[in-house]
Amino acid sequence: MKILAISGSTRAASTNTALLHTLAKIAPAGVTVTVYHQLASLPIFSADQDAAPPPAVHTFKHMVADADGIVFASPEYVRSIPGGLKNAIDWLVSGDAVIAKPMAILHGSHRGDDMLDALRVVLSTVSSAFSATPFVRFALIGKSPEHVAELLAAPENAVQLRAFLRSFVALANPNT
């Protein structure tokens, strides 16, 4: 099973990207988690380019089409979804790859509920298989990627992250 893990942050030291890398590390045999944190490489969506998208968009769309499910982790910017992440989702709307794609959200902050609400609305609009659960959040704001990895290795956090992944795999692939 292939999971695409999309980070809404373009920061090199992003806590949300680090969270997704940890998800990739704990994936059990048979489950591959690929982290996508190249939102900055996607040009601004243009309907005029939708039929023949630029190479970076083409690659992104292919990764989405190829995945059995998508997990998002994003910061809140100005009480909403970061523009880069919304832009990436806009590029997906015209294709059929996302229509029934299983999707869920992980969150690297104890804040950001306006972004979470907005992202839930957007994802449930683009996919009939978006699910608000499983969902898990960790208070990671301001931590370095190394510190994020350490915190998530703590038993009480590791257990929650593993449970999230187990539930998402079951959601995306009911035959497992």
Q: Is 134 in the site for ligand FMN (CB under 6 A)?
A: no
Q: Is 120 in the site for ligand FMN (CB under 6 A)?
A: no
Binding marks (x or -) toward ligand FMN, 136..155, rule CB under 6 A?
Answer: -----x--------------
Decide if 111 contacts 138 (C-beta within 8 A). Answer: no
Q: Give the one residue of 3, 4, 6, 15 binding ligand FMN; rule: CB under 6 A.
A: 15
β-strands 69-73, 103-107 pairing: parallel
Q: Which residues of 47-72 are buried (b: 16+ CB within 10 A; e: fewer)?
A: eeeeeebeeebeebbebbeebebbbb
β-strands 69-73, 32-36 pairing: unpaired
Q: How far is the CB of 67 from ligand FMN (least distance, A)?
A: 21
CB neighbourhood size of 97 (10 A): 18
Candidates 11-19, 84-92, 95-103, 118-126: pick the segment binding ligand FMN (CB under 6 A). 11-19
Q: Is 77 in the site for ligand FMN (CB under 6 A)?
A: yes
Give the footprint of ligand FMN on this chain (CB under 6 A).
9, 11, 14-16, 75-79, 108-109, 111-112, 141
